[in-house]
Amino acid sequence: MQLKNEVQLKQYRVPAYVNQLIQSLKQPHHSDSRRTLLESPLSWENYTEKFQLLLYLEESQMNLDIKSVNLDSVKLGFASELLDRYTAGKDLSIIEGIKFNVEFTINRLTIRLQHRAAELATLCGLRSKTVTVVEAIKQIEKTQASCHILACAPSNSAADLLCSKIRDHVDECLVYRMYASSRDPKLVPDHLKGCSNLVGESYVYPAKEKLMEYKIIVTTLLSAGRLVSGNIPSGHFTHVFVDEAGHAVETECVVPLAGLLDAESGQLVLAGDPKQLGPILRSPFSLKYGMGVSLLERLMTTSSLYQKNEGVYNNCFVTKLLRNYRSHPAILKIPNELFYDGELQACADEYARNFYRWWQYLPKQDLPVIFHGVAGEDTRESNSPSFFNVAEVEVLMDYVRKLLQSEGKKGLATIGPKDIGIIAPYRKQVQKIRKALEQVGKEFTFKNMNALKVGSVEEFQGQERRVIMVSTVRSSSKYMDYDKKFSLGFVKNEKRFNVAVTRAKALLIVVGNPIVLNTDDTWKRFIQYCKEEGGCTGLVQPEKDDYEVVLRLSALYISIEGHGETNEKVETYESVVQQQLDPEWRNDL
């Protein structure tokens, strides 16, 4: 027997009024009932209606963004392996040279599951008053014989890691990793195949009676929707854990809760960092009206249960992990001060974190933090609105060469490209850096430069590297409001700053324009720290008397090839997020 879908999953098509709503939202003084709903605080009464409207806005933008990858009049190659699979034994005639228009569509199942979760959340009585018990899964399994645990994460990679760690401490026969049928079987880790629903090259879904025998089931947030569809009884799962909860929109996080977790007796544990990046959204309206706030962050900021009282959390509801096992204390200094009340303790292995204390290119020995000031240009090409900064690319490549040339010298640890990460906020800067690395790779033919990861902050969240370099790109204050409005770049974005600088284990190098960055309080504190400790090099901050003049000039200085002024009005075509970040599509089922 296999798991049957017993609970309806409706289509939740985008209503016709959504396009009109988008147009009206562009008019600052236009008011109607739906705009009023969007501008209203989230409440139990408007929970379903508001989140479903936000989902409609997000899907509408996704449909526009996906058009950017469509192809017109292209020749498609002959895929013999597909023909073998589906037409074995038949005579085939192949006509070559025909051109096709190729169109892509979004995966609506991920959206539909969130719609249903928003509906079920109010129907089943799920409220934010759910008692949160922060216990390790292994402790619950050992101490509560009747427990059934559902452990979830936003992505398959995070869910696989979670499952692997659980199996290290719990009898393997008690754990079941359930994948979606869309997951490429080749991506399933070998050590998890035996405890998963992958049989051969296909996925199977046991009947709910069989699934209910497992003590611990691990899925992605959205794949938990299959358990809802299969009508696993509410209350069967005594505990639901959501790892990396800050990365998911609230409706994703509610999928494993609504219809599965009993509102009175169920225990919910959200694990994550509300001070780091939340979910990536494409629609500026869904971002503006609150969809970018995760359930974790909302509870931490609006519910008194999860806030400090007289400087401390109630440990019945909140456990704050204080030991950092990644970074050198100098790297951790400013994030700890600005975001974690100075409570973090640097507990990384001393040998590993001190690899670059005495690197010859440090402005100050024993301080593995560098701020390299650069007076570059914000530049765009005629075929792309995304920004890049050539001067910063050149500085970054110089550091890459120095790192690879100095490996193993004077006691320095051996380092390869895989130990280095470069973070940039705009997709065009990422492309320029990758192109430059191809040239550097010709100088180090014995190195696999493809292993050097270059990407946005979002791509690095949850990851770490021995050495992290950050390119801030902005050299003009003119576009900082533009970045802030669409949650782009590093300036005026504390969470993006926090994630970027805390990826480094032993060496952090930040390249940017100190004049522009000093207009942001967070960056100003970081640069001040580097200056006080002797970690600054390159372009220095002007004296106070000259600062305002230089800042006004920087607001006028920008090089844009083939583009006029940036229009901050939201248009009904490819989103700014798509243009500047080109984020991965959220299809993790």
Interval 500-532: pLDDT, tens:
999 999 999 999 999 989 988 999 999 999 999
Residue type, 168: D
Phi/psi at 102 (5° precision)? -105, 120
Q: Once rounded to an integer, what is the mean pLDDT over residues 543-566?
A: 45
CA nearest 212: which of 242, 184, 190, 234? 234
DSSP state at residue 42: P
Q: Which residues of 293-317 are buried (b: 16+ CB within 10 A; e: fewer)?
A: bbbbbbbbeeeebbeeeeeeeeeeb
Contact of 222 with 255, CB cutoff 8 Å: yes
Residue 462 one-letter amino acid: G
Check residues 383 and 298 and name the one with the higher pLDDT.
298
- Whether 370 contacts 510, CB under 8 Å: yes
Please name which of 565, 581, 571 lies closest in space to residue 285, comparing C-alpha atoms: 571
Look up tokens 């058009």; give the residue.
67
Residue type, 14: V
* Residue count of the chain: 589
Residue 39 φ/ψ, nearest 5 degrees: -85, -5
Q: How confident is the model at residue 91 (pLDDT cuts 50, 70, 90)?
A: low
**Using 50, 70 and 90 to split pLDDT, how confident is the model at 349?**
confident
Of 128 and 471, more confident:
471
- Greater confidence (79 vs 126) lies with 79
Options 3.30.230.10, 3.40.50.2300, 3.40.50.300, 3.90.180.10; which CATH number does 353-565 get?
A: 3.40.50.300
Q: What is the pLDDT, as a whole number, of residue 128?
A: 31
The C-alpha angle with vertex 586 and arms to 573 and 273, in degrees rounded to 5, equals 115
HSE, CB side, 13 Å, CA atoms: give it for residue 88: 4
* CATH value of 1-73+101-320 in 3.40.1010.10, 3.40.50.300, 2.40.50.140, 3.30.950.10: 3.40.50.300
Q: What is the pLDDT of residue 570?
A: 38
- Give the integer Cα–Cα distance in Å for 295 and 248: 8
pLDDT at 126 over 50: no
Asked whether the beta carbons of 152 and 220 are under 8 A apart, the reply is: yes
The tokens of 562 are what?
Answer: 């083939």
β-bridge pairing 71-75 and 99-102: antiparallel
Given this model, what pLDDT does residue 557 score? 40
| Integer Cα distance of 39 and 47 in angstroms | 13
Integer angstrom CA distances of residue 506 from 91, 259, 353, 365, 368: 62, 46, 5, 13, 7
Percent of the chain scored above 90 by pLDDT? Answer: 47
Residue 576's CB is within 10 A of a number of other CB atoms, namely 21
Q: Which part of the chain has CATH 3.40.50.300?
A: 1-73+101-320, 353-565
Q: Note the pLDDT of residue 548.
A: 56
